[in-house]
Amino acid sequence: MTQDLFRTDAYLTECSATVSAITAQGIVLDRTVFYPLGGGQAGDAGVLVLAGGTEIPIVDTRKGKTEDGSFNDDICHLPAPEVLALLLQSGQAAGAHLAVGDVLTARIDWSRRHRLMRFHTTTHLLCHLVPQLVNGCSITPDYARLDFNMTDALDKEVLTAGIARLVAAAHPVTVGAITDEELDANPALVKSMSVQPPRGTGKIRTIRIGDLELIDFQPCGGTHVANTAEIGAVIVTKIEKKSASTRRVVLGFAP
């Protein structure tokens, strides 16, 4: 099991960690600042810095899977495939020796992650601007897209202006939690048809945007900026009619 430090503090850029396993799924650490692909948000990239200073580049991060394909509580850090193959074979790759029990520093590519956080928080603003159910979401460092289950047309300029207004208002973004029972009593809190909040632990993580004025409140496990002002210049670059009942909003950074 990997302790997920990014859930309590999305601004942690590195941590000390111990290697708990090296498998075909990647390098598993006892704790990490690397966010694994999930909820539409891309997995983090970065480096693992070994005791001697050697760095192993990490190109992606995924949740660990059990043999039946279900997710477990491991977080797997993926080096390039050829590096992982060498590590599995001999414990060595590109001058680095890595073994279970080794202590290292896990450091994310912060500028990449910060772009993901800015886009991810903007998708919550879109949920406020477009009060419809979401049936698809993809957040990458270069663009994001959110698919709404709706038939009415959307206006690119109106949405871009709406985002700019919410960014300028500098609304705080806070992490909280509700119980499974509270969520059952308020099913409308779940705005996604495609991603269900993780249950079973008794508590479900929530993200609230807005202080006195509530902008958005929903269960979410991703990483967000602490204030909408930090989003900066994010615009709607495209609106697509993906199907008769789906409108896709594509986000990008202003040129």
Using CA atoms, how far apart are residues 9 and 35, in angstroms rounded to an integer? 11
Closest contact distance (angstroms) between CB of 232 and Zn ion is 17
CB nearer to Zn ion: pick between 74 and 216? 216
Tell me which stretch binds Zn ion (CB under 5 A): 49-57, 131-139, 168-176, 213-221.
213-221
Tokens of 253: 């950074």
CB nearer to Zn ion: pick between 38 and 91? 38
- Please compute Rg for the chain using Cα positions: 19
Closest contact distance (angstroms) between CB of 163 and Zn ion is 15
Helix, strand, coil distribution of the chain in percent, nearest 5: 25, 40, 35
State yes or no: residue 220 binds Zn ion (CB under 5 A): yes
State yes or no: residue 173 binds Zn ion (CB under 5 A): no
Which residue number places its CB atom closest to Zn ion?
220
CB nearer to Zn ion: pick between 42 and 220? 220
Using CA atoms, how far apart are residues 86 and 97, in angstroms rounded to an integer? 10
Pairing of strands 14-23, 103-108: antiparallel
Tell me which stretch binds Zn ion (CB under 5 A): 76-84, 93-101, 215-223, 229-237.
215-223
CB nearer to Zn ion: pick between 43 and 222? 222
For the beta sheet containing 203-209, the strands, ordered from the edge strand earlier in sequence to the opposite edge, are 173-179, 203-209, 216-219
**Residue 9 corresponds to which amino acid?**
D
State yes or no: residue 117 binds Zn ion (CB under 5 A): no
Closest contact distance (angstroms) between CB of 126 and Zn ion is 11
Using CA atoms, how far apart are residues 130 and 134, in angstroms rounded to an integer? 10
Tell me which stretch binds Zn ion (CB under 5 A): 29-37, 148-156, 178-186, 218-226.
218-226
Tokens 């992606």 -> residue: 60
Instruction: Count the site residues for Zn ion by CB under 5 A.
Output: 3
CB nearer to Zn ion: pick between 95 and 176? 176
Does the CA dihedral 44-50-55-56 come out positive or negative?
Answer: negative
Tell me which stretch binds Zn ion (CB under 5 A): 64-72, 98-106, 206-214, 243-251.
206-214
Tokens of 65: 């899977």
Using CA atoms, how far apart are residues 96 and 66, in angstroms rounded to an integer? 28
Tell me which stretch binds Zn ion (CB under 5 A): 134-142, 171-179, 190-198, 207-215.
207-215
CB nearer to Zn ion: pick between 127 and 154? 127
Closest contact distance (angstroms) between CB of 56 and Zn ion is 29
**Residue 108 corresponds to which amino acid?**
I
**Is 112:41 a contact under the CB 8 Å cutoff?**
no
Pick one of 222, 225, 231, 247: the residue that binds Zn ion (CB under 5 A): 222
Using CA atoms, how far apart are residues 25 and 211, in angstroms rounded to an integer? 41
Residues that bind Zn ion (CB under 5 A): 207, 220, 222
